[in-house]
Chains A and B, each alone.
Chain A
Amino acid sequence: EVQLVESGGELVQPGGSLRLSCSASGFTFSSHAMHWVRQAPGKGLEHVSVISNNGDRTYYADSVKGRFTVSRDNSKSTLYLQMSSLKPEDTAIYFCVKGPLGPGFFGNWGQGTLVTVSS
């Protein structure tokens, strides 16, 4: 059974930094691209970033480009999202999602971790 467990979300001040982690199990992590999708309180889903299976390709939404960095450690089956220069509008639940590098669907979602950016 595929399991994705996010951690690292917390309250952080504007301009601060935070690193999210996602521990994966139940599938061959190193064979799959992985995504971060976020959902602001009471709002819809927004794709944030994707990283290829071996980490050589990444993509970022314009809203986070230059501030967020996605990475992975295949030896630990763990996905990361380093967030810096955080803004109040980054407040959201961040989901770790297993999905394709290109067109396709998101078949497995973590439970999410809440990031709150506020002073």
Chain B
Amino acid sequence: QSALTQPPSVSGAPGQRVIISCTGSSSNIGAGYDVHWYQQLPGTAPKLLIYGNINRPSGVPDRFSGSKSGTSASLAITGLQAEDEADYYCQSYDSSLSGPLFGGGTKLTVL
């Protein structure tokens, strides 16, 4: 598997809730490896948003939450704000690659 599968884009109005999915396989997410999420604002480096499926680093608002089930994971963003407009990437570990694997990325547009 060359990349975890994410929708190319999602959108929502301010205040709404959006969900970004991340689908893997039996060699990565389905094998029990944790899923992590990164937020990349335009022109900047990615920033860790969720680690270990559900955990938020210090400073990340609780509007962001993660979940994992089977071979998939999801990132939920509630109370959408204009500053949430960014690219979001999931990441796990792949036993076939013996290395980390990223999702293709999802562009979030706040309408």
Contact = CB atoms under 8 A, between A and B. Distances in A.
Contacts of A41: none
B38 to A, nearest CB: 7
Contacts of B104: 44
Nearest to B52: A105
Contacts, number: 55
Interface string B90-104: 011100001111111
Given A105-B34, A110-B45, A44 B3 contact: yes
A47 interface: yes
A107 interface: yes
Given A45-B105, A46-B102, A47-B99, A106 B36 contact: yes
A31 to B, nearest CB: 19
B46 interface: yes
Contacts of B38: 45, 106
Contact of A50 (B34, B99, B101): B99
Interface residues of B, number: 25
A106 B48 contact: yes
A59 B51 contact: no
A109 B105 contact: no
Contacts of A99: 100
Interface string A80-119: 0000000000000001000100111111011110000000
Contacts of A11: none
Contact of A105 (B3, B36, B98): B36
A85 B92 CA distance: 30
B98 A103 contact: no
Nearest to B32: A103
Contacts of A104: 34, 93
Nearest to B105: A44
Given A95-B45, A106-B38, A110-B45, A45 B102 contact: yes
Interface of A: 35, 44-47, 50, 59, 61, 95, 99, 102-107, 109-112
Interface of B: 3, 33-34, 36, 38, 44-48, 51-52, 57, 89, 91-93, 98-105
Given A59-B98, A103-B34, A103-B100, 6 more contacts: A44-B103, A45-B105, A46-B102, A99-B100, A106-B38, A109-B46
